[in-house]
Structure 1
């Protein structure tokens, strides 16, 4: 992906590309759908995932999912309270499944978690360590939550982090751009074209 990193030690993390979040028809569609469509995140993300697969770079699919009744949800933030109130992201439902464009292939790792970032109380770090991963390439929805949170946590865990800017979306373009600027001191910011041409 870049001359500084060995593809054998790199993984692409597809973050929260599930229907309730990344589909305009999902329960968070009214909040995120306009920018997901405007930025063509589903197809951009699909192109990134397909490129990674062609280079034999592991793709890890991260999904936030909860048990029916949200018995495993700690509603200690406005965002998680909204999830519970909307009965969103329930394990086994269409909303918690991955979007059609980015379905995991057999053998690809799926990480399920219940917090804002992908590392907290999940098997992500352990899975990455088992694979010998040192460099994370992140994309997904939404930029200012799962992507930024995971980028910062990833750096704290010792990984090199790249965020693919045009494979992410937030509630508004301004929020997305602000989050990308926030991450410039912790992550390498690239476009899809820069990744696939390196």
Structure 2
């Protein structure tokens, strides 16, 4: 694994840090927010974003969003069925918007998708290729879905992958830890402090 993060070749990917998923008042709040709060994920992610911006990393914000009435949603999994049942992540609503403390700034890319992983049927790979990216650094909610799925796909697309462990969370700490252990064979696992160092 490459320990040094070359700013010209590194992208920081904020994954699903939208209100319906990462906020206590979001549609998925009862499922995900306890660990977001307990692990201080928003605060740590804010510090990570600030670091990435200061270093000159390419910043990409990935959001899962659907059209009203979920006309573009394929409910072929329990998770996606729950999205429809909760009427969650609808384009143009507060729930589908980014958490205030992690909002994109001018010049940062926003990638929207409708599948479990960020690469599938999205512009993510094109955005990264156009920026000359070789190494992607991931954080977000939830660890065992968007983060792990994107880490594995990222490796398949040829990127070096780093996951910032304490800027991620899952429904429970046990699930988070199991997912992190699953990713150790495909990604470099770092803490926020290790990245900043």
- Post-superposition CA distance 1:60-115 (Å, at most 9, x none): 00000000000000000000000000000000000000001100001100000000
Q: Shift in Å at residue 5 of structure 1?
A: 3.8
Question: Paired residue for 2:193?
Answer: 193
Question: Paired residue for 1:145?
Answer: 145
Q: Secondary structure at the match of 1:84?
A: helix
Q: Superposed, which structure 2 residues align to 1:45-194 within 5 Å?
A: 45-194=45-194
Q: Secondary structure at the match of 1:37?
A: helix
* TM-score, structure 2 as length reference: 0.98
- Post-superposition CA distance 1:145-166 (Å, at most 9, x none): 0000000000000000000000
Question: Paired residue for 2:35?
Answer: 35
Q: Distance in 2 between matches of 1:120 and 1:149?
A: 10
Q: Distance in 1 between matches of 2:118 and 2:62?
A: 7
* TM-score, structure 1 as length reference: 0.98
Aligned-residue Cα RMSD (Å) equals 0.8
Q: Distance in 1 between matches of 2:6 and 2:171?
A: 34
- Aligned pair count reads 196
Q: Any stretches of 5+ residues in structure 2 without a counterpart?
A: none
Q: Distance in 2 between matches of 1:40 and 1:95?
A: 20
- Post-superposition CA distance 1:91-142 (Å, at most 9, x none): 0000000001100001100000000000000000001000000000000000
Q: Distance in 2 between matches of 1:167 and 1:63?
A: 16
Q: Distance in 2 between matches of 1:58 and 1:131?
A: 8
